[in-house]
């Protein structure tokens, strides 16, 4: 079994400077390290984080969620992010229906938005089974 100290997502972006600006302006996040060829690293709570890496051919192509932010209150977080200009996705399919951008699964809530490159990012207030 892997003995990891932390885990981080790697998100493809077409233009690193544009993406770093979007993550700053919309999500209020600043990279802890930025290199034009390697990408930008973000360190978050409890040893978590993510990296944006420049790759014009792969950015925004994944049809699935690439990363999820766990927050205390999805409803409040969605309202705050909407004020910053984040647009939330709406889904209506078997097993997943959003109301005003928020899906409810028992006591858990989740919302999804796309970053500047179309990468799908989630905001949740829990992880099933945790």
Could you read off the pLDDT of 91-118 as tens digits, one per residue? 999 989 999 999 998 889 999 999 999 9
User: What residue spans define the domains of the chain?
Assistant: 8-124
Does the pLDDT value for residue 128 go beyond 60? no
pTM for this prediction: 0.91
Could you read off the pLDDT of 28-52 as tens digits, one per residue? 999 999 998 899 999 998 889 999 9
DSSP the chain: ----S--EEEEEES-HHHHHHHHHHHH----SEEETTTEEEEE-GGG-EEEEEE-TTTTT--SSEEEEEE-S-HHHHHHHHHHTT--B---EETTEEEETTEEEETTEEEEEEE-TT--EEEEES--TT-
Q: The domain 8-124: what is its CATH number?
A: 3.10.180.10
Does the pLDDT value for residue 88 go beyond 80? yes
């Amino acid at each position: 079994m892997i003995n990891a100290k932390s885990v981080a997502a790697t998100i493809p972006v077409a233009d690193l400077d544009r993406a770093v600006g979007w993550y700053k302006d919309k999500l209020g996040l600043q990279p802890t390290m930025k290199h034009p060829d390697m990408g930008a690293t973000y360190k978050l709570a409890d040893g978590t984080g993510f990296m944006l890496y420049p790759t014009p051919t792969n950015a925004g192509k994944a049809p699935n969620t690439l990363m999820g932010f766990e927050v205390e209150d999805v409803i409040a977080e969605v309202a705050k992010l909407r004020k910053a200009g984040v647009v939330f996705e709406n889904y209506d399919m078997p097993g997943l229906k959003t109301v005003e951008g928020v899906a409810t699964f028992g006591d858990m809530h989740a919302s999804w938005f796309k970053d500047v490159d179309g990468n799908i990012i989630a905001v949740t207030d829990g992880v099933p089974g945790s």
